[in-house]
Amino acid sequence: MKRKVLVLNQDYSPISVCTVQRAFLLTFLRKTEMVAPANGYRLRSVSQSFPMPAVIRLTKYVNVPYKGVALSRQNIFKRDQFECQYCGTRSELTLDHVVPRSKGGKSSWDNLVTACRRCNTHKGDDSPEMAGISLRCRPFKPSYVLFLRDFSGFHCEEWMPYLDKRKG
């Protein structure tokens, strides 16, 4: 069962994603309530059948400290959809500093992109302009909600009403 469940705080703000098993247990223990079932899916025991949760909401408000998306190799790849940001290939991917570190470039969301080995080697220690190549998309720091919605690796129709209204 590879489905995921969106977890909302009591005020309906998205706070995380969990497994179906964990969501069912939290709902069964009355720590959450099911807001939206997964259309057409059911969980079955020997004697009972339950709707599979797609979105759950905590019964008590939890004060969540600022949630940001961690800067990591995997998260950069997810943001860039596992494509080289110079040529679009999906093979032999690495990270590239748009402004090279030797020229003052930092390891940040705005300066790191996914690049294939060939483009990264061609660009070398130059800026993209100096190397004669251009970025397909400008790098950006995704918000937590944007990351849940677009880059979590799981897309579920039932999540959209809770993520679309908080796009930023």
Percentage of the residues of the chain whose pLDDT score is greater than 90: 71
Task: For Cα atoms 53, 80, 91, give the angle at the middle one, nearest 5 degrees.
Answer: 110
Q: Provide the whole-model pTM.
A: 0.69
Mean pLDDT for 23-44 is 94
Q: End-to-end CA distance of the chain, in Å?
A: 30
Task: For Cα atoms 90, 152, 166, give the angle at the middle one, nearest 5 degrees.
Answer: 125
φ/ψ (deg, to 5) at 120: -65, -40
Closest CA to 6 of 57, 64, 74: 57
pLDDT digits (tens, 9 = 90+) for 93-144: 999 999 999 999 999 999 999 999 999 999 999 999 999 999 999 999 988 8
Mean pLDDT for 15-31 is 93
What is the rounded distance in angstroms from the CA atom of residue 18 to the CA atom of residue 166? Answer: 19
What is the rounded distance in angstroms from the CA atom of residue 161 to the CA atom of residue 112? Answer: 31
pLDDT digits (tens, 9 = 90+) for 86-103: 999 999 999 999 999 999
pLDDT at 167: 44
Domain with CATH 1.10.30.50 in the chain: 73-131
Return the beta strands (E) in 45-164 as ranges.
Answer: 49-58, 93-97, 112-116
Assigned CATH topology for domain 73-131: DNA Binding (I), subunit A (1.10.30)
Return the higher-pLDDT residue of 157 and 57. Answer: 57
